Amino acid sequence: MDNRQIPDKYFEQLAGKIEEGIHAMQDNVEQEAPLLNRIGKLESYIIPEGYFDGLYSKLNLPKSRQSVIRRMMPYSIAASILMMMTLTWFWVNQNENTFYNQLALTEVYDYYIENESLFDQDLLIELSFEDTEKDAFDLDNLADEDLDLFTEELINEMTDQELLDIL
Amino acid sequence: MKNTDENILALLADDRTFDQGFRMLVKTYQERLYWTIRRIVHFHEDADDVIQNTFIKVFKNIKGFEGASKLYTWMYRIACNEAISHLNRNKNRKLINNEDQMLFLENNLKADIYFNSERAQLTLAKAIDSLPEKQRLVFNLRYFEALSYKDISETLETSVGALKASFHHAVKKIETYLKENYDIVNG
């Protein structure tokens, strides 16, 4: 005979036995604690009227991502507009500068002269003086007398050897 | 839309409906959590503080909730921890001995306008409060909340067998306390 044999209907009864055991271990307050059972589960605690209606609004919750997005939306739009305006301003100014750089110096002077009243006179004089100085080094535009003086000064500054090399 | 855990979690999963989902979560569980907390801390003002902290914690951590346990057992765990931390922060409870603690509880409960100080109920409150922390939690969750041992096991992270033993001991101790104050209970 196989030692591993089990009683008839063992598994059929097993579930019932376990259930019985669980019930035995269950609370069983009625029999084990009659005084506790007599007092029952009547709630001793009282809560203010309408407490639960207002609890959610009392919660000091951190802002959720959606709320933050909704709250920041106007600022985001304003920031976008400001950025677009800034970029446009830079683009226009850059193009204006490019345009300005492409103008001939004479055209700029003409513009100044025609619109003289719009500009500060001291600034105009200063700008004119700077341009005159630049012209002084432009040999093509020098008068004959000035050219002679310039040549004389140049010769005086040269060494004998430098003169020999030129000649 | 029904206030099921599935619906609540679905709303919470989407940033666009998160606020709606969280409101639904609070409305669904506020009363159950409140009573769990109230039975631990006794006083309404304390329970009010603790439940607010509990929901703030839930709010901050809900994205990390992986669904390994039921939503309410996860929140019960937070609520119980918050309530116990609240009690531990209460210096009066730390400084006084057990007898003084009972007297302190009795006097305060009698003075509490939010406590029905019928003698039997007051005695029961004192009996429950005399239990060790773990037994008190198990007793409250099982006796008043009628949670299954499986759910309590998830909440308190304790085996079902140990919970049953804790509950059994708690009931015995409460009954002994009530017998010692039999006149009061009958009074």
- Measured between alpha carbons, how far apart are the two ends of chain B, in Å? 49
Q: How far apart are alpha carbons B26 and A21 in whole angstroms?
A: 39
Q: Is A80 on the interface with B (CB under 8 A)?
A: no
Taken in order A57, A61, A64, A69, is the CA torsion positive or negative? positive
The torsion angle over the Cα atoms of residues B128, B91, B60 and A67, rounded to 10 degrees, is: 110
Phi, psi of A94 (to 5 degrees): -65, -40
DSSP string, B19-74: HHHHHHHHHHHHHHHHHHHHHHH-SHHHHHHHHHHHHHHHHHHGGG--SSS-HHHH
pLDDT in tens, A115-157: 666 666 666 555 555 444 444 455 566 677 777 777 777 777 7
Q: How far apart are alpha carbons A10 and A127 in whole angstroms?
A: 116
- pLDDT per position in chain A (167 positions), as tens? 556 778 777 887 777 666 655 555 556 787 888 888 887 776 678 889 999 999 999 998 877 655 555 555 656 666 666 666 666 666 666 665 555 555 666 676 676 667 666 666 666 555 555 444 444 455 566 677 777 777 777 777 777 777 777 66
Please tell me which of the candidates A48, A51, A55 has its beta carbon nearest to residue B26: A55
Q: Is the separation of the CB atoms in B58 and B79 below 8 Å?
A: no
Alpha helical stretches, state H, A103-167? 105-114, 121-136, 144-157, 160-166
Chain B positions in Cβ-Cβ contact with residue A18 (cut-off 8 Å)? none
Q: Is A58 on the interface with B (CB under 8 A)?
A: yes
Q: Is B55 on the interface with A (CB under 8 A)?
A: yes
Count other C-beta atoms under 10 Å from residue A35's C-beta: 20
Q: Is the separation of the CB atoms in B155 and B80 below 8 Å?
A: yes
Task: Name the residue in chain B with its Cα closest to that of A48.
Answer: B114
